[in-house]
Amino acid sequence: MSKERTRGLGRGLSALLNDSDVADSQIETGGNAQALPIEDISANPDQPRRTFNDAELKSLAASIEENGLLQPILVRPSPTGAGYQIVAGERRWRAAQLAQLHEIPVLIRDLTDRETLEIAIVENVQRTDLNPVEEAQGYKQLVDRFEHTQDEIARAVGKSRSHVANMMRLLALPISVLDHLAAGRLSMGHARAIATAPNAAILADNIASQGLSVRQAENLMKASPTKKAPETKSAPASKDADTRALEQDLSHRLGLAVEIDHGKGEAGRVTITYSKLEQLDDVCRRLNAS
């Protein structure tokens, strides 16, 4: 099964790069670019990249106005049956709209949802187009939706397994910290410095507002008063794998630390730790929406 998943992930990347090694695979890689009306093309809602720099888009648009769109984008027939959906090249598509092009060159491929997501993640990561949070969320999608291992993902994107693991650990940070990281107000070094702090959200706000360096963030972390977590009757090591997995899943969803303690029988307790009222408000909004 692992070999099949690895081969599938490799096919996605090879289809993007038009690799001759997979010419006989399930993905057809031959054919030339053709022009399509730009209004017939739509963005992929599962695209891992969520943020686009306005200045970079304007610069690219100016280049396109001068020289045209030299590299075609990769699309597939839209799952809705109308037009085409972008697989790779949304940044170029957006810039082409700014340049007021009516048609753009595309490569059309028949790709599944799985192949589309794999290609989008690998292409963006290899071009360093994703911010750390988008990259981590992309890896998590490959793990959760398609059961790829961290080793498989690492080989596909040309990174080490420890890099993939460290990126995915970021998702356990509070939502406010991830917001700072995605916006570039915090670096990966900052995030690593405060990752284990119980008051990480407060530290992140201070680091971002004061423009502290990573070394200063480390010193702030050491000097910050920390509240020792109350001891429980059940040590974390005694929890079964399902409970630990559920804690991790809830933590990822809420962006806050979650602890589950089973009492006797079927009773138990769920503890959600927050560092400021905005995080509590966010949890309340999620519960009300449900």
Rounded Cα–Cα distance for residues 123 and 82 (Å): 25
- Report whether 51 contacts 181 (CB < 8 A): no
Triad 225, 230, 236: Cα angle to 5°: 115
Amino acid identity at 248: Q
- Count the Cβ atoms, other than its own, within 10 Å of residue 71: 10
Rounded Cα–Cα distance for residues 285 and 264 (Å): 31
Rounded Cα–Cα distance for residues 9 and 146 (Å): 10
Amino acid identity at 239: K
90 catalytic? Reply is yes
Tell me the H-state helices in the chain: 2-17, 54-67, 90-98, 113-126, 132-146, 150-157, 161-169, 175-183, 188-194, 200-210, 214-223, 241-254, 277-289
Considering Cα of 120, then 122, then 123, then 129, what sign does the dihedral take? positive
In three-state secondary structure terms, 30 is coil
CA atoms within 13 A on the CB side of 251: 19
Q: What is the DSSP letter of 75?
A: E
- Report whether 92 contacts 69 (CB < 8 A): yes
For residue 218 the two structure tokens come to: 């480390």
- Report whether 246 contacts 262 (CB < 8 A): no
Find the length of the chain. 290
Of 65, 66, 90, 115, catalytic? 90
Residues forming the active site: 90
